[in-house]
């Protein structure tokens, strides 16, 4: 796999929907100016090139990323072409889909976009929390958009949030995705934005997510060949257990050295879910170069995330690494503590191991370089991606917490 640097760019925090659980914490609502956009693209390529990354991924996010309009994106595409300097790059849009029309489809085709649309399952479940500003459900418009993208033959996946509204219905949600031939990603609700003050009402307890995940995973494993749909979280977590090192950002030891998020005014954060959180702001891309920003104390704190003592002795530390660093911040207000969903993560990895064993496939031993996310530190050029030295000294243990 080529080493990839990912910048999740938020062109705006404005949104045409008002989902009850939305984690967006930023109340400012500008649209990113041209100068900030040029600077963001230029610095992203420059940093990735200097640090020895082989490819750059731009994820357009928000707020609702389609709000700035097509002309804004045509400018962004022209800037990428001009500033890439021969570097490989790709574009993904994470959208609620509501604004998709023929002109956008043409744009996505022309610029080879991957498209991810948020939908929380069939109408009854989706409409519970994913609402318009008038409090009406958004399912019809979102589902129409998904079908338009599919009919146009463009690559589309969907993202489902497991929350109080959906947690008891994972098999029904899977059936819906199978019926509609939709590849999907599944994530648990985070305590943030709209979900912070009413977490008791719409959030999950740290154990129940794991139980639902396992139920959905088993139903997914039992799908016939004809019914198979790709699920990113299921595939990547299974791959992590087989290979013995983290396979996606939630389980990476170094996720913060490969991922950043830039907001509409150029503020840089460790993750799109932490955008607008002043305490974890790395810096501003219009004021400093990305190299300086990534050397800031807060950035280094994320890159060198301390390990929770419970994780250091955990059987699954080599694939989980304390779970999602952003969730640690959101739930505990500190990144050295393990993910709120730890009991679920432990159960999930144990369950995958058990299902693999039934198939005669063993879980991989901890990869020797799992603390550098599978990359041999010796193969890095000097001055390339920083290595989590504090963490690298810790050896994986095989005991259960």
Ligand X SMILES: C[S@@+](CC[C@H](N)C(=O)[O-])C[C@H]1O[C@@H](n2cnc3c(N)ncnc32)[C@H](O)[C@@H]1O
Which spans of this chain sit near ligand SF4 (rule: CB under 6 A)? 15, 17-19, 22, 24, 62-64, 96, 118, 308, 310-311, 314, 316-317, 320, 322-323, 338-339, 342, 345-346, 401
User: Are 131 and 98 in contact, with CB atoms under 8 Å apart?
Assistant: no
Nearer to ligand SF4, 15 or 298 (CB): 15
Nearest to 30 by CA among 261, 195, 266, 193: 266
Q: Would you count residue 61 as binding ligand X (CB under 6 A)? A: yes
Helix crossing, 208-221 with 342-358: angle to 10°?
Answer: 30
Q: How far is the CB of 168 from ligand X (least distance, A)?
A: 18
Q: By three-state DSSP, how is residue 260 classified?
A: strand
Give whichever of 185 and 308 is closer to ligand SF4, judged by the CB atom: 308
261 part of the interface to ligand X, by CB under 6 A = no
CA distances from 304 to 89, 296, 297, 323, 335 (A): 27, 12, 10, 14, 10
Q: How far is the CB of 20 from ligand X (least distance, A)?
A: 9
- Give min distance, CB of 165 to ligand X, in A: 12
Crossing angle between the packed helical segments 139-151 and 102-110, to the nearest 10 degrees? 50
Two structure tokens written together for 26: 């930023």
Nearer to ligand SF4, 39 or 318 (CB): 318
Partner from ligand SF4, ligand X, none binding residue 320, C-beta < 5-8 Å depending on class: ligand SF4
**How far is 327 from 337, CA to CA, in rounded Å?**
10
Contact 25, 193 (CB under 8 A): yes
Binds 322, which of ligand X, ligand SF4, none (CB < 5 to 8 A, cut-off by type)? ligand SF4
338 binds, among ligand SF4, ligand X, none (CB under 5 to 8 A by kind): ligand SF4
Toward ligand X, which CB reaches closer, 130 or 237? Answer: 130
Least distance CB 325 / ligand X (angstroms): 15
Specify which residues 56 forms β-bridges with: 5, 89
Residue 289 makes CB contacts below 8 A (sequence gap 6+) with: 43, 46, 47
Interaction partner, residue 161 (ligand SF4, ligand X, none; CB < 5-8 Å by kind): ligand X
Nearer to ligand SF4 by C-beta: 5 or 60? 60
**How many residues belong to the site for ligand X (CB under 6 A)?**
20
Q: Closer to ligand X by CB, 96 or 257: give it.
A: 96
Scan for tokens 């299902």, then name that residue: 355
Q: Specify the DSSP element, H or E, that contains 144.
A: helix 139-151
**Nearest by Cα to 142 from 169, 167, 123, 165:** 123
| Closest by Cα among 128, 122, 18 to 63 | 18
Contacted entry of ligand X, ligand SF4, none for residue 187, CB cut-off 5 to 8 Å set by kind: ligand X
Q: Which of 12, 40, 80, 190 binds ligand X (CB under 6 A)?
A: 190
Q: What is the DSSP string of 164-220?
A: TTTGGGHHHHHHHHHHTT-EEEEEE--SSTHHHHTHHHH---TTHHHHHHHHHHHHH
Q: Which is nearer to ligand X, 332 or 380 (CB)?
A: 332
User: Least distance from C-beta 41 to ligand X, angstroms?
Assistant: 20
User: Of 286, 311, 310, 285, which is closest to residue 299 (Cα–Cα)?
Assistant: 285
Could you give the string, one character per residue 93-132, with x where binding to ligand X holds by CB under 6 A and - elsewhere?
-xxx---------------------x--------------
Residue 118 or residue 317: which is nearer to ligand X going by CB? 118
Binding site for ligand X (CB under 6 A): 15, 21-24, 61-62, 64, 94-96, 118, 159, 161, 187, 189-190, 192-193, 195
């Amino acid at each position: 796999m080529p080493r990839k640097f990912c910048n999740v760019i938020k062109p705006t925090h404005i949104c045409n929907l008002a989902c009850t659980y939305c984690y967006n914490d930023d109340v400012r609502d500008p649209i990113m100016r041209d100068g900030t956009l040029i600077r963001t693209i230029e610095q992203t390529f420059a940093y990735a090139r200097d640090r020895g990354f082989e490819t750059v991924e731009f994820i357009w996010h928000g707020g609702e990323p389609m709000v700035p309009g097509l002309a804004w994106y045509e400018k962004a595409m022209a800037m990428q072409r001009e500033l890439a300097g021969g570097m490989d790059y790709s574009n993904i849009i994470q959208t609620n889909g509501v604004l998709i029309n023929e002109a956008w489809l043409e744009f996505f085709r022309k610029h080879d976009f991957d498209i991810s649309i948020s939908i929380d399952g069939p109408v009854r479940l989706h409409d519970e929390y994913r609402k318009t500003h008038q409090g009406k459900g958004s399912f019809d418009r979102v589902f129409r958009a998904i079908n338009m993208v599919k009919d146009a033959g463009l690559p589309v996946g969907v993202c489902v949030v497991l929350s109080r509204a959906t947690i008891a219905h994972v098999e029904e949600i899977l059936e819906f995705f199978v019926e509609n031939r939709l590849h999907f990603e599944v994530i648990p609700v985070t305590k943030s934005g709209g979900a912070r003050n009413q977490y008791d009402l719409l959030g999950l307890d740290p154990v129940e997510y794991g139980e639902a995940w396992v139920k959905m995973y088993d139903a997914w494993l039992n799908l016939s060949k004809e019914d198979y749909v790709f699920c990113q979280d299921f595939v990547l977590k299974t791959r992590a257990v087989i290979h013995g090192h983290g396979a996606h950002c939630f389980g990476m030891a170094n996720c913060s050295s490969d991922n950043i998020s830039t907001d509409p005014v150029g503020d840089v954060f460790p993750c799109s879910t932490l955008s607008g959180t002043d305490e974890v702001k790395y810096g501003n891309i219009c004021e400093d170069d990305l190299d300086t920003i990534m050397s800031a104390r807060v950035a280094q704190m994320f890159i060198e995330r301390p390990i929770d003592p419970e994780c250091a002795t955990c059987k699954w530390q080599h694939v989980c690494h304390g779970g999602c660093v952003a969730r640690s911040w959101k739930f505990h207000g500190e990144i050295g503590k393990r993910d709120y969903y730890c009991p679920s993560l432990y159960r999930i990895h144990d369950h995958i191991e058990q299902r693999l064993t039934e198939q005669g496939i063993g879980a991989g031993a901890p990869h020797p370089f799992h603390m550098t996310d599978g990359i041999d530190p010796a193969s890095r050029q000097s001055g390339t991606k920083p290595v989590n030295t504090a963490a690298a000294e810790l050896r994986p243990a095989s005991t259960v917490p």
